[in-house]
């Protein structure tokens, strides 16, 4: 027997329809690429999205066509997203921090047919366009006055192009399982892999993100998505914010501490999200200036393990709640958020910080398990390490083109490549990537735990730990450190700071000081490059 409910497909353009109808005057504020702060509303975003969908359809683009975006977080980028999805297309966010050859490879693999780009990236697009055979059109998200000269053909200025449409357009009649978005993994091992989102998965993911024990956001919030839209959908905030009618503040291309603080303060931001490196810059700026964060209530930190020192400083010095999150491009991307269940609600001080170091429980819509190498499920006891596997309605079932099939099993489980443990209350903690875990004398050492501990030293700006060959133990940890500006930490001083805080056999065998640590295009420590850099290193003795 079937239920007698209406057929109401979960398609993304219903989100911007809702925002325009229920919250038409709510602002979307952007630091524009041209410089000034600009303001529009959800009604304005909706109107321009309709024009974009109308123009793309008129020019022959079809449902399923991949339309790339190479752009920062702005209102224009947001309306491009909804316009592309509304005509049945697939927005394809490109990461400008990749090498041009990688971006061209990705665009060819996806067969992108058009691209929306910011002024910042026009020199890059001019290099990419000749290498992408499928590319037919370049839309530069600016006005006629700022349009640069270019030798490329079929290039238009966004604002002039929009004048060709009246917005009288019916959204494409696509099913909720139709593709609507695409993002490629960073490709730290092998070629990047395409993750193809559906309308249904994006809508469900946005609903998951809003839940009280997830991000816990609502219409009263002012949301600053510092995490770029090209980093796994800005963690869903491009869809969840209009879904709840929250004011959005878009940072454009300026991600330094001062620029982020200015937006937090002038726009009275209550909620924000980004990777740890961004918050390190902000906290350093606050220390230098003595400024406070009177409006900010909550910050989500993910993309890499959040050092304890960042959580402690936000919460103790500025009264801002930190939610430690974890996810992946393949998960749309939210997988877990460390909010407090009743079992931990009475924790305070260091005991609370101990819990907040975990990545936390999965929200409804994400199932988790940990297994050994033979796929035997392991207990949730907070101690037993295993391979972290997930499944759910916003988790990829395969990669675009069938790549990487070994990551998915016949029961729908996706092997994340992370090593983790889960406690009795469902709080998951990543201990390493499976390829980065240090295997010493047959036991595992978590490089992430050691890195977080080292960053707590007052003279350390950034730390990375890698396993290097050892004649007796197989592998031992080497701690690699970048000192804070004006500081000169010593090997013995750093190791002395760490001593007694982890098991003796976990302690790094040596410390190396470097000017910088290599990062991937998504801001994560690039340990493959570090291992190459220290390939000929030998431990003392």
Q: What is the pLDDT of residue 188?
A: 46
Total-model pTM: 0.86
Q: What is the mean pLDDT of the chain?
A: 94
Q: Per-residue pLDDT for 351 more than 70?
A: yes
Determine whether 330 is an active site residue: yes
Considering the candidates 444, 475, 484, 528, report the single residue annotated as catalytic: 444
Q: Per-residue pLDDT for 230 more than 80?
A: yes
Cα 240 from Cα 524, distance rounded (Å): 25
What percentage of the chain reaches a pLDDT higher than 90?
83
Q: Supply 124's token pair.
A: 């890059």
For domain 366-433, the CATH architecture is Roll (2.30)
Q: What is the pLDDT of residue 412?
A: 92
Determine whether 266 is an active site residue: no
Average pLDDT over residues 221-231: 96
Residue indicated by tokens 């001062």? 258
> Residues 483, 523: contact at Cβ < 8 Å?
no
Considering the candidates 127, 435, 439, 501, report the single residue annotated as catalytic: 439
Domain 13-25+35-199: give its CATH code. 3.40.50.12780
Report residue 172 CA to chain centroid gap: 29
Cα 205 from Cα 453, distance rounded (Å): 33
Q: What is the pLDDT of residue 189?
A: 53
- Give the strand pairing for 414-422 and 386-391: antiparallel
Determine whether 343 is an active site residue: no
Q: Per-residue pLDDT for 354 more than 80?
A: yes
Report residue 204 CA to chain centroid gap: 18
The better pLDDT of the pair 97, 388 is held by 388
Give start-end residues of each CATH 3.40.50.12780 domain in the chain: 13-25+35-199
Determine whether 416 is an active site residue: no
Considering the candidates 27, 79, 267, 330, report the single residue annotated as catalytic: 330
Confidence tier at 36 by pLDDT (50, 70, 90): very high
Q: Per-residue pLDDT for 191 more than 90?
A: no
Q: Supply 146's token pair.
A: 């700022």
Average pLDDT over residues 287-300: 97
Give start-end residues of each CATH 2.30.38.10 domain in the chain: 366-433
Cα dihedral 167, 173, 176, 180 sign: negative
Q: Supply 392's token pair.
A: 């759910």
What percentage of the chain reaches a pLDDT higher than 70?
99
Considering the candidates 41, 57, 74, 185, report the single residue annotated as catalytic: 185
Cα 62 from Cα 56, distance rounded (Å): 8
Confidence tier at 142 by pLDDT (50, 70, 90): very high
Is the CATH number 3.30.300.180 carried by domain 438-533?
Answer: no
Q: What is the pLDDT of residue 297?
A: 98
The better pLDDT of the pair 473, 159 is held by 159
Give start-end residues of each CATH 3.30.300.30 domain in the chain: 438-533
Q: What is the pLDDT of residue 442?
A: 64
Q: Per-residue pLDDT for 192 more than 50?
A: yes
Give residue-wise pLDDT tens across range 204-217.
999 999 999 999 99
DSSP for 300-344, please give it: EE-SSPPPHHHHHIIIIIH--EEEEEEE-GGGSSEEEE-PPPGGG
Q: What is the pLDDT of residue 104?
A: 97
Average pLDDT over residues 490-507: 91
Q: Per-residue pLDDT for 535 more than 70?
A: yes
Helices (H), 129-256: 158-162, 199-210, 237-244
Give residue-wise pLDDT tens across range 417-452.
899 999 999 999 998 777 787 878 766 788 888 998
* Close Cβ partners of 348 (under 8 Å, ≥ 6 residues apart): none
């Amino acid at each position: 027997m079937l239920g007698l409910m209406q057929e109401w497909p979960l398609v993304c353009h219903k989100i911007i329809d809702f925002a325009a109808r229920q919250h038409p005057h709510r602002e979307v504020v952007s630091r524009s690429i041209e410089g000034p702060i600009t303001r529009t509303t959800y009604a304005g975003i909706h109107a321009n999205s309709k024009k974009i969908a109308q123009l793309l359809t008129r020019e022959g683009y079809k449902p399923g066509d991949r339309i790339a975006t190479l752009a920062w977080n702005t209102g224009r980028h947001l309306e491009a997203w909804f316009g592309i999805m509304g005509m049945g297309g697939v927005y394809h966010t490109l990461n400008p921090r990749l090498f041009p050859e990688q971006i061209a490879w990705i665009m060819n693999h996806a067969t992108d047919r058009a691209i929306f780009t910011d002024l910042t990236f026009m020199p890059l697009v001019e290099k990419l366009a000749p290498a992408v055979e499928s590319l037919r059109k370049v839309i530069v998200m600016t006005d006629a006055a700022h349009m640069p000269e270019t030798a490329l053909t079929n290039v238009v200025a966004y604002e002039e192009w929009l004048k060709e449409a009246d917005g009288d357009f019916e959204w494409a009649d696509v099913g909720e399982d139709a593709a609507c978005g695409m993002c490629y993994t960073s490709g730290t091992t092998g070629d990047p892999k395409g993750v193809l989102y559906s309308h249904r998965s994006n809508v469900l993911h946005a609903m998951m993100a809003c839940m009280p024990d997830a991000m816990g956001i609502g219409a009263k919030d002012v949301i600053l998505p510092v995490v770029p839209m090209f980093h796994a959908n800005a963690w869903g905030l491009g869809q969840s914010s209009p879904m709840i009618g929250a004011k959005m503040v878009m940072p454009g291309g300026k991600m330094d501490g001062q620029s982020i603080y200015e937006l937090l303060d002038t726009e009275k931001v209550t909620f924000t999200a980004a990777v740890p490196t961004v918050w390190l810059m902000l906290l350093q700026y606050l220390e230098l200036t003595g400024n406070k964060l009177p409006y900010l209530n909550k910050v989500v930190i993910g993309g890499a393990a959040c050092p304890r020192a960042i959580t402690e400083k936000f919460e103790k010095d500025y009264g801002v709640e930190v939610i430690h999150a974890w996810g992946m491009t393949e998960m749309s991307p939210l997988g877990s958020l460390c909010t407090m269940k009743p079992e931990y609600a009475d924790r305070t001080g260091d005991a609370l910080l101990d819990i907040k170091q975990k990545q936390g429980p999965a929200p409804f819509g994400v199932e988790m398990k940990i297994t050994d190498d033979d796929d035997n499920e392991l207990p949730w006891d907070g101690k037993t390490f295993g391979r972290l596997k997930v499944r759910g309605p916003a988790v990829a079932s395969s990669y675009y083109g069938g790549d990487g099939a070994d990551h998915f099993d016949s029961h729908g489980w996706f092997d994340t490549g992370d090593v983790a443990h889960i406690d009795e209350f469902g709080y998951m903690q990543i201990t390493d990537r499976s390829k980065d875990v240090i295997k010493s004398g047959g036991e595992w050492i978590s490089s992430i735990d050691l890195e977080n501990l080292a960053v707590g030293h007052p003279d350390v700006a950034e730390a990375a730990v890698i396993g290097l060959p050892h004649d007796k133990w197989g592998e031992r940890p080497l701690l690699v450190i970048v000192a804070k500006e004006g500081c000169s930490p010593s090997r013995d001083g750093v190791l002395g700071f760490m001593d007694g805080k982890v098991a003796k056999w976990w302690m790094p065998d040596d410390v190396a000081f470097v000017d910088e640590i290599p990062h991937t295009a998504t801001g994560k420590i690039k340990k493959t490059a570090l291992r190459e850099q220290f390939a000929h290193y030998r431990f003392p003795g």
